[in-house]
Amino acid sequence: MRAYINDIAYRAEQGESILSFCNRILGKKSIPTLCDAPNLEAFGSCRICSVDVALEKGAKTKTMASCHSMVTEGMYIYPNSTNIRRLRKNIIELVLTDHPLDCLTCEVNGNCELQDVAALTGVREVRYPQGAHHLDRPKDLSHPYMTSDLSKCINCYRCVRACDEVQGQFVLSMAGRGFDTRIIKGMDQSFMESDCVSCGACAQACPTSAISDVFESKAVRTDTKVRTVCTYCGVGCNLEVSKTEDQINSIRAPYDATVNEGHTCLKGRYAFKFYDHPERLRDPMIKKNGQLEKVSWEEAYDYISSKLLHYKEKFGADSIAGISSSRCTNEENYLMQKFIRAVVGTNNIDGCARVCHSPTALGMQRTFGTGAATNSIEDIQHTNCILVIGANPTAAHPVTGARIKQFFMKSDNVSIVIDPRKTELAKYANFHLALRPGTNVAVLNMMLYYIIKEGLVAEEFVRNRTEGYEDFKKNILEIDINEMERISGVDRDLVREAAIAYASAPNAMSFHGLGVTEHSQGTFTVMQIADLALITGNIGRKGVGVNPLRGQNNVQGSADMGVQPHQGAGYLDVTDPEVIKKYENFYGVSLPRAIGYKIPEMFDAALEGKLKAIWIIGEDVVQTDPNTQKVIKALQHTDLVIVQELFMTETAKYADVLLPGASFLEKSGTFTNGERRVQRVNKVLEPIGNSKADGQIIIDIMNRMGYEQADYTPEGMLQEISQIVPFFAGIRWENLGVNGLQWPVDTQGKDTQILHSDTFKRGKGKFEFHPFEESNEIKLHAKDYPYILTTNRDLEHYNCGAMTRRTGNVLINTQDALWIHPDDAAQHGIGQNDWVCLESERGKVDVRALITRDIQPGVLSTTFHFPEIMVNNITSDEACSEALCPEYKVVAVRIRKSKGKHLAKV
Amino acid sequence: MSKNLSELSLRQGIIDGLFERISRTAVETGRADPKLLQQLADDFLIGSASTYGAASFYDFMKAENQGKKAYVCNGSACLCAGTQKAVHKALSRHFDSTQIGHMTCLGRCHENAAFHIDGKNYSGSDLTDIEKIIGQSQKNRDSYSVKANVELLTQEIGDLKSFYEPLIRLIDSKNLDKALEDIKSSGLRGRGGAGFPIGLKLQICRDVAADLKFIICNADEGDPGAYSDRYLLEERSHAVLQGMMIAGILVGASWGILYIRAEYPESVDQVQKAIEELQNLDLLGADIRGSGINFGFKIIKAQGAYICGEETALINSIEGQRPEVRTRPPYPTVEGLFNKPTVVNNVETLASLHYILKNGGESYRSLGTEKSSGTKLISLDSFFNVPGIVEVEMGTPLRTVIDEMGGGFRTAVKAMQIGGPLGGIVPVDKIDELTVDFESFARNGFLLGHASIVCIPEGFEMIKYLEHLFDFAQYESCGKCFPCRLGTKRGQELLEGAIVRGQKIDKQLFVDLLDTLEQGSLCAHGGGIPLPVKNALRYFSKELEPYFIHN
């Protein structure tokens, strides 16, 4: 299609707006606008983007807003005619009749879109006599992060639209009409009183300082901007960090980020102030006479290396273990497992994936051959059905959660949630299967049953690309539906309808989280989710697949790098002689043959006296691993506990040596997000105090213990990794670009958005039937402990909370709370915010009650972000039978109203 | 507008939708109850800002409306008639000042002195009976002259069964192509003001595949001075309903929604009665006459916002969103109510369809002019010797309407505003140059619009009329687009300053303002207000000149 700009012909795209056509041809911002924004739909309120348009050359022109008028064949566009320039100037003059002219003292002076457009139009005076205005609107400074000064508002609605179209929260709207139309939060409340989730999308969208944040993220300073990747979850949002010298000023989300497209959540955008918190560990420390004392790095290194060499010699390498950190970079994780394997000489290396997504990696490997998300987040735009099971992404993966929520709100889409709680997404879903915690396998087998019964099996796909189906089918058809319905508590018709909806959708995706994995049947559940995809042929193309929502920012990467006792870098089997040979050649040393300890086995070994030393990086096992008292005992039984941390966590308190690591803002490397996207983490600041990049610490000790390893650089490390991890073959620091690459990346540097397009890593997809089995926790304890407690995460805090509790987030979410159904609360005389004592076979904790119908009777739910509560004092040793992932989601408890005595001393 | 809110609103259906439920939160006190708004927000999962923001838009729900018991009409016709001071005075004897509000045009322009008490409208001599009126439960229907030079819309309905013959034939024969062809060939153009060919609109909507479609009858006749739609709704309800069903069947819509303004309580009652009659004829519901066709009606009573007469604002209103104007494309025919294909048409347009189906497109086309076929209703205000509704064949000289049908002016009139507040101001010496059709008015720099006539008497200062227009425009602006939100306010302020404080208006600034509104506004509200003002500047320059300076 051809269209003309200033009488010159250009190629136009069908369905393109005049605005994007002109910007494409003439350059970005060639047409000024105040209400348009990169991530929002055209709105047409400011009219600044108006252009003159004629349908043929020389014909009479008509003025049209270019943002919502489409280019048509043969159109003549005059984007900057005399008439248009006059119109823009006159509109701006009107805007300035109700806008304070205090630019010099305004927060966004020099970075104000109104200022820019006003300058462009050449408006020099406001000719209107003083009239009614809104310059006296009060500021809203109620919130730890969000601020507003609506006297600066130009009513472009960008904030309202961002809250709706990006975050889907509907906190902002307009009230009144005409001249008095004004932005409101909730029912004309303050930010703090409203339901604002502090994502900051409004502040980023606002073209003036009308809505902003306490960090003045739009202010112009002598800033340097560094692009990096968020440390807070597996979504992997790109962040643009502004700093002045050694101070971080603020964070914004870049619009050109594939992962987050200009959006992020309050953790990514605002919860960065932990980085220079007074409590940051700034020096290495060694416990002397029962007290941790500051020492030099030299002393710490000498102490560690001599001790480790001593244990290795005296008790063998297997007396030493390492827990690496999924918050660290790929390079650092690679180094840690290399250190443990090649320098110490044991496979006793594990990471936090053990307690979160180990069943995902294992289950998907068993079904597909590859333990990673099959598709990309972007595929949400190409699917017709989303099944969310055991995940609460609007809290734990907010940016992906917001996208899924957008999907759920559209009536033509199929949305299914399987979760015991009425999560935010469950409220919007077409189908909410509110099962009893621990019965995923029962419900998924029912779904599989109905898909087969209703004749909705993708026969051709099953025939060509899978194996084991006939046995599987036979087993599935033999399940006792009555029994499964009774066990799960989910109406069979609802399961049937959901199954039909999933199987009938042209493209269906699933997302799952820890509500799948943290069960005694976690791995089997993952395999069933994979079976659902197989049986309906939802694999290997856009808009389908099995997509685990990885928890920590680099939990995918840590496993990829070999932070597992049974698989080395690149998932190669450490017991396979060929593999061992390959690694030995590469590392230049001889390697152990036996599979090492998984994390729970490390603690068992410690209690048995077999483990002498443990090095834990960035993982608060005391607060976050199950059965706290047992973990503490295990640490106390270990001679040498090395903890590498940012803060004095509950685990760090048990350290013999404490090493101050660096935060994500203080080092470079790569993180791999939940869609296998390897992205560059760029250092913003030097490590605080005497702290060091975690990778350098490991390297220093490697060298100290006689293994030569060059100093830490991401380039150098990636070069090494690419030679041993097959799917990193083409990854180089230099060619990752701003948006990274999704593995596998071939030697030519080509990456992969969708796995299993033609074939599975293991050849054929494998059906494997597993019947529902009641957890031991219920079998053994339900009689005495009739309630089921399930643990989860809140939006504002991240895991043990060591970082988020040292930011403004703690002013928004102040405590762990216990979700309890009103009927249960009434039965025990528990009122809102009363202390409730939760007692399990392991112990007691007290938590404040939050009475809500979002939880079913008989089920309770709480978080583990606050060490005062220490909910893991009551969680159990039960774990996934295959992957040893703890069963955090099913804890048999009894409850009573209490006085809050059972709090941990912090 | 928000696509998400459209979707979430649809989830709870059409029968008792978000807008009606928001409306009910204000029943107790006249002001939407925040607690109930919060509950609705929770039920619909849309956030309290959405329900609160929507309620605050409407005259009859916003905080200022709390405790109002009586309303004085402040429409253009009552203003020009000069009757409202007396109305206010009379009401003040029974209500304190906080209990008296205003409504803009109750459609009693034929006798003025209009007011509203307790859900009922009164006008003319009713004021003398005010004691009796308070507490009265009977609805109050007015009467006025109805004349026609061609009886098409004004034709008696007569026996219902035979009146619905065209619809029954359409349902039984299912010859939709033929019916659509007739409507196309009739040349019928939308009577709401824009004049878009309805046949084409129906065709576009019909061609969009969707499981759910809507026909909306835009009965939000907000133009001060216009009451011809009210006439049709109250006196010819079945013509409107039949037109909606015909249109609905042609595009595959199963719902007909009538959006009727709150200022017309009697219209709501009459249409409701007609729907029940239609129900009794077994012409509504599922599988009508075994045809497989489903159709149901839904009346939605508006809550006082002129902008809801704009079709996309009206759609937002029905959805329970703030009735702000949407951008186009997408047009409602493709993505309208609840993001589904929707045909929105004016009352008069829809009321013409039964004639076309009965008599064929050519028969309709033979009436009127080449480009403006058929007939047109005109509302005459109380300055005419015979005020009321007239139906004329398109192309009829305006002089005929005024002198022959309206009986001439009762007192000296210097100009008429024809076609509502956005219609042109026609000086009386232009009467002989105009015929009643779209083209004649456009050619002469006016607008046929909805063809209501409000007379501006000789003694009424034009500057005050312009201030009234701008005041109306700023009060009713939805506030979405910059030019209209700010420009109508500033225009009103400039004119008020000139009248009240003797501040002369910078002529260049005023011209810039009018051009900005005309070219820059998102919809016809801001875009239309400059037309009458420019007409006045042109034809009454001498009278207006002293208020301006040329810098």
Residue pair A621/A631 in contact by the 8 Å Cβ criterion: yes
Q: Say which of B486, B503, B520 has its CB closest to residue A50.
A: B520
The per-residue pLDDT for B126 is: 87
**Domain final residue pick, B143, B162, B193:** B143
User: From the list A43, A97, A168, which residue is nearest B4 (CB)?
Assistant: A168
> Does B50 contact chain A (CB < 8 Å)?
yes
For residue A904, pLDDT beyond 80: no
Binary contact (A164, B521; C-beta < 8 A): no
Could you say which of B38, B47, B506 has the minimum Cβ distance to residue A170?
B47
Assign residue B481 the CATH number of its domain: 1.20.1440.230
pLDDT band for position B104 (cuts 50, 70, 90)? confident
> Cβ separation of B479 and A179 shorter than 8 Å?
yes
Closest partner residue to A409 (CB to CB) among B4, B53, B522 is B4
Q: Are residues B484 and B517 in the same domain?
A: yes
- Asked if B11's CB is within 8 angstroms of A411's CB, the reply is yes
For residue B49, the domain's CATH number is 1.10.10
> Does B197 lie in the same domain as B297?
yes
| Per-residue pLDDT tens digits for B246-268 | 999 999 999 999 999 988 989 99
Q: Picking from A382-391, A895-904, B276-285, which range would have the lowest pLDDT averaged per residue?
A: A895-904
Angle at B329 between CA B323 and CA B332, to 5 degrees: 55
**Which amino acid appears at position B288 of this protein?**
I
Q: Are residues B165 and B295 in the same domain?
A: yes
Sign of the C-alpha dihedral computed for residues B423, B428, B430 and B436 taken in this order: positive
What's the confidence (pLDDT) of residue A743? 96
Please check whether residue A128 is in contact with residue A122, taking contact to mean a CB–CB distance below 8 angstroms: no
Question: How confident is the model at residue B137, as a pLDDT?
Answer: 67
The residue that leads in pLDDT, B213 or B106, is: B213
- A90 contact residues in B (CB cutoff 8 A): 512-513, 515-516, 520
pLDDT band with cut points at 50, 70 and 90 for residue A906:
low
Q: How, if at all, do strands A765-766 and A466-467 pair? A: parallel
Q: What is the pLDDT of residues A608-651, one digit of tens each?
A: 999 999 999 999 999 999 999 999 999 999 999 999 999 999 99
Residue A570's region, left for phi above 0, alpha for psi from -120 to 50, else beta, is left
pLDDT of residue A901: 83
B163, B88: one domain: no
Q: How far apart are CA B452 and CA B462, in angstroms?
A: 19
Same structural domain, B238 and B345: yes
CA B327 – CA B2 distance, rounded (Å): 11
Instruction: Say yes or no for a CB contact (<8 Å) between A177 and B57.
Output: yes
Q: Are residues B280 and B341 in the same domain?
A: yes
Mean pLDDT of A881-892: 94
Residue B31 lies in a domain: yes
What is the model's pLDDT at position A739?
96
pLDDT at res. A902? 79
The answer to whether A852 touches A820, Cβ cutoff 8 Å, is yes
Scan for tokens 């957890």, then name that residue. A775
- Among candidates A854, A385, A342, A328, which has minimal Cα distance to A591? A342
Inter-chain CB proximity B479 and A170 less than 8 Å? no
pLDDT at A221: 84
Query: Which residues, in sequence order, are bridge partners of residue A238?
Result: A229
Instruction: Establish if B243 belongs to a structural domain.
Output: yes
What is the percent of chain A where pLDDT is above 90? Answer: 97
Look up the CATH number of the domain holding residue B339: 3.40.50.11540
Number of domains present in the structure of chain B: 5
pLDDT, position B134: 78
Closest by CA position to A321, among listed A354, A289, A285, A361: A354
Q: A342 with A590: CB under 8 angstroms?
A: no
Contact B370, B209 (CB under 8 A): no
Q: In sequence order, which residues have a C-beta less than 8 Å from that of residue B113 and are 6 or more positions away? A: B78, B81, B83, B84, B86, B87, B123, B124, B125, B126, B127
Q: Do A186 and B52 touch (CB under 8 A)?
A: yes
ipTM: 0.96
Chain B touched by A97 (CB under 8 Å) = yes
Residue pLDDT, tens place only, A465-499: 999 999 999 999 999 999 999 999 999 999 999 99
Give me A595's structure tokens: 């599979």
For residues B359 and B385, membership in a common domain is answered with no
Distance from CA of A854 to the nearest CA of B (A): 13
Residue ranges of A 600-619 with Cβ closer than 8 A to chain B: none
- Residues A323, A602 contacting (CB under 8 angstroms): yes
Looking at the fold, whether B209 and B356 belong to one and the same domain comes out as yes
C-alpha to C-alpha distance for A204 and A254, rounded to whole angstroms: 10
Position A841 scores a pLDDT of 94
- pLDDT given for residue B426 in this prediction: 98
- pLDDT > 70 in chain A, percent: 100
Which of A171, A175, A427 lies nearest to residue B47, judging by beta carbons? A171
**pLDDT-based confidence at B193, cuts 50/70/90?**
confident
What's the angle, vertex CA A426, arms to CA A420 and CA A429, rounded to 5? 135
Mean pLDDT of B400-410: 96
Contact A179 B486 (CB under 8 A): yes
Q: Rg of chain B over CA atoms, in angstroms?
A: 23
Mean pLDDT of A752-762: 95
Asked if A428 and A489 count as a contact pair (C-beta separation under 8 A), the reply is: no
- Whether A135 and chain B come into contact, CB under 8 Å, resolves to no
Compute the distance between CA of residue A878 and CA of residue B1 in angstroms, rounded to an integer.
Answer: 51
Dihedral-angle region of residue A325 (phi above 0 means left; psi in -120 to 50 means alpha; beta otherwise): beta
Q: Across the interface, which of B327, B488, B497 has its CB nearest the CB of A44?
A: B327
Asked whether the predicted pLDDT for residue A286 surpasses 80, the reply is: yes
pLDDT for residue A588 is more than 80: yes
Reading across the β-sheet that carries A139-140, which strands appear in turn?
Answer: A139-140, A146-149, A211-213
Least confident piece of the model among B119-128, B509-518, B537-546? B119-128
Average pLDDT of A663-668? 97
Q: What angle do CA B309, B472, B461 make, to 5 degrees?
A: 135
Domain that holds residue B11: 3-65
The amino acid sitting at B393 is E
**A763 near A369, Cβ under 8 Å?**
yes
For A405, nearest residue in chain B (alpha carbons): B4
Rounded Cα–Cα distance for residues B422 and B223 (Å):
8
Query: Is B211 part of a structural domain of the chain?
Result: yes
From chain A, the residues in CB contact with B477 under 8 A are 177-179
| Average pLDDT of the residues in A540-549 | 97
The confidence score (pLDDT) of residue B29 equals 87
**Helices B48-55 & B34-44 angle (0-180, nearest 10):** 130
Residue A74 and residue A48 in contact, taking contact as beta carbons nearer than 8 Å: no
Res A373: pLDDT: 95
Give A42's contacts in chain B (Cβ within 8 Å). Answer: 327
CB contact under 8 A, A171 and B487: no
Asked, for residue B76, whether it belongs to a domain, the answer is yes
* Shortest alpha-carbon distance between residue B305 and chain A (Å): 9
CATH code, domain carrying B436: 3.10.20.600
Q: Encoding tokens for residue A403?
A: 């996208």
- Min mean pLDDT across A762-776, B3-17, B56-70, B484-498 is at B56-70
Helix (H, G, I), strand (E, B) or coil at B114: coil
Res B128: pLDDT? 84
Q: How many CB atoms lie within 10 A of CB A411?
A: 16
How many CB pairs (< 8 A) connect A and B? 181
Which residues in chain B touch residue A128, judged by CB atoms under 8 angstroms apart?
Answer: 490, 493-494, 509
**Residue B457, Cβ neighbours under 10 Å: how many?**
16
Q: Which residue of B has its CA nearest to A166?
A: B4
B443 in a structural domain: yes
At A235, the pLDDT band (50, 70, 90 cuts) reads very high
Partner residue facing B483 (CB), from A94, A128, A411: A94
CB contact under 8 A, B45 and A427: yes
CB contact under 8 A, A94 and B519: no
pLDDT in tens, A33-46: 999 999 999 999 99
Chain B CB contacts of A154 below 8 Å: 482
For chain B positions 238-277, those within 8 Å of chain A (CB to CB) are none
Relative orientation angle of helices A481-488 and A440-453, to the nearest 10 degrees: 140
Q: Is B129 on the interface with A (CB under 8 A)?
A: no
Instruction: Identify the CA nearest to A556 among candidates A707, A712, A634, A671.
Output: A671
B535 shares its domain with B519: yes
Q: What is the pLDDT of residue A67?
A: 97
Same domain, B248 and B138: no
pLDDT score recorded for residue A600:
95
Residue B139 has a pLDDT of 67
Last residue of a domain, one of B317, B344, B365: B365
Same domain, B184 and B291: yes
The tens digit of pLDDT for each residue in A421-473 reads: 999 999 999 999 999 999 999 999 999 999 999 999 999 999 999 999 999 99
Same domain? For B185 and B322 the reply is yes
Q: What angle do CA B447, B453, B456 make, to 5 degrees?
A: 105
Give A87's contacts in chain B (Cβ within 8 Å): 515-516, 519-520
Cross-chain Cβ contact B512/A155 below 8 Å: no
Residue pair A465/A511 in contact by the 8 Å Cβ criterion: no
Asked if B512's CB is within 8 angstroms of A188's CB, the reply is no
Angle between helices A358-367 and A522-535 in degrees, nearest 10:
40
Strand partners, A466: A765
* pLDDT above 70 for A823: yes
CB nearest A94 (choices: B2, B328, B487): B487
- Give me the pLDDT at residue A905, please: 66
In-domain check, residue B370: no
Distance CA A378, CA B445 (A): 53
Mean pLDDT of chain B: 95
In the predicted structure, residue B135 carries a pLDDT above the cut 90: no
Residue B136 confidence (pLDDT) above 80: no
Tell me how far apart the terminal alpha carbons of chain A are, to the nearest angstrom: 69
Residues 11-70 of A with CB under 8 A from B: 34, 41-48, 50, 63, 65, 67-68, 70
Picking from B319, B343, B365, the residue at the C-terminal end of a domain is B365
- Which of A97, A155, A187 minimises the CB distance to B34? A187
Distance (Å, rounded) from C-alpha A635 to C-alpha A287? 14
Contact check, Cβ <8 Å, B513/A90 = yes
B481 and chain A in contact, CB less than 8 A: yes
Residue B227: phi and psi, rounded to 5, are -145, 20
Question: How much is the mean pLDDT over chain A?
Answer: 96
pLDDT at A778 over 90: yes
